[in-house]
Amino acid sequence: MKRNLLEDILGEIVIETPFFLRNLVIYPLKFPEIDVGGEFLTLEDDGFSVSELDPPTIERVRFTNLSGKPFFILDGEELLGARQDRVVNTSLWIGKMGDFEIPVSCIERRRWGGGTIFETGVVLLNPSLRRTLCEGVTGSLFRGEGYKSDQRALWDSVERTLASLKISSKTSSFNDVYATLRAEIEGYLEELQGLNGDFSGFVVETPTLISVDLFGSRKILAKFLKKLLRSYLIEGFLAKRGVNPSLRRVRSLIKPIIVKDVIEHSTPTGLGKEVRFGDGKKTIGKILVLGETFLHFSLFKVK
């Protein structure tokens, strides 16, 4: 069933004509629309708080849903402030009310101190860092250790990103990437204002990496569009050269995927299940499933 789900999703994806964005080629994706039910909220909305646990720990924080609606959180979303900046380890569907401990990772290696309340960022980890996050969490799940990342690998990857972009950060914070490049990133977003909501996701290609984000509903993508594009742009700044577009090449890279390792696991909030998969070499990914509906499919493949 788990393998069939992956095959079914890949079999339904339609890859559209690509566009260029800062050394990237981005292929919009279309997928049959799935009904995700009523209204849901994201970290862009009100009706929640995120705080440190008592006592605080690097690996988990408290998410409090104060609204009467569910929340959808995407892997790699930033939580800023408190004792140190974090990112959410995996995509989550959070129930209507109550407190939830959610798994996170630190993206600010050289700070541990401050308050207890987080603010939310406006950008995700870029795809290559999300791959590092995904690899660490997947390995932890296969070892039976839960939704933990490889924290050291993520810290090292953040510092390589800062060094590659020649960005100075006293606390080795990933958020300083966006803070430094904000004007340029937002300028590119202005040029993409005409990008409509008729898509279900994107394939992003660089000379070294393919990443895929696909959503079961266009309503979900619409809420995350700007955050995703900002993260893709950071990847574009890291790419030293572009790549020629090829629908045939991209299709061959993501269809089909030969899966070696598959695991199904309950999500940290207890709502839905997650399927993690990989080929043991270059490809790794995950699918968040709620009931009979898939909410988010992500894939990262080194070329």
In the predicted structure, residue 12 carries a pLDDT above the cut 60? yes
User: What CA–CA distance (Å, rounded) separates 179 from 167?
Assistant: 10
Token pair listed for 160: 């390589």
Work out the average pLDDT over 70-83.
97
Provide the mean pLDDT of the chain.
Answer: 94
Task: Give me the pLDDT at residue 3, please.
Answer: 59
Strands of 118-124's sheet, edge to edge?
48-57, 60-65, 98-106, 86-88, 77-81, 118-124
Q: How confident is the model at residue 271 (pLDDT cuts 50, 70, 90)?
A: confident
CA–CA gap between residue 61 and residue 54 (Å, rounded): 9
Q: Which helix (H) or strand (E) holds 71?
A: strand 71-73
The predicted-structure confidence for 149-199, as pLDDT tens digits, reads as follows: 999 999 999 999 999 999 999 999 999 999 999 999 999 999 888 786 689
Q: If 0-12 CB within 10 Å is exposed, 13-18 middle and 19+ buried, where does residue 265 land?
A: middle
pLDDT of residue 1: 42
Q: Which of 45-59, 74-88, 275-289 has the lowest mean pLDDT?
A: 275-289
Q: Could you report the per-residue pLDDT of 112-132, keeping only the tens digit for each?
A: 999 999 999 999 999 999 999
**Domain definitions of the chain by residue range:** 2-302
What is the Cα–Cα distance from 220 to 218, expressed in whole angstroms?
5
Residue of 271, 264, 286 lying closest to 135 (CA atoms): 286
pLDDT, tens digit, 9 for 90 and up, residues 137-147: 999 999 999 99
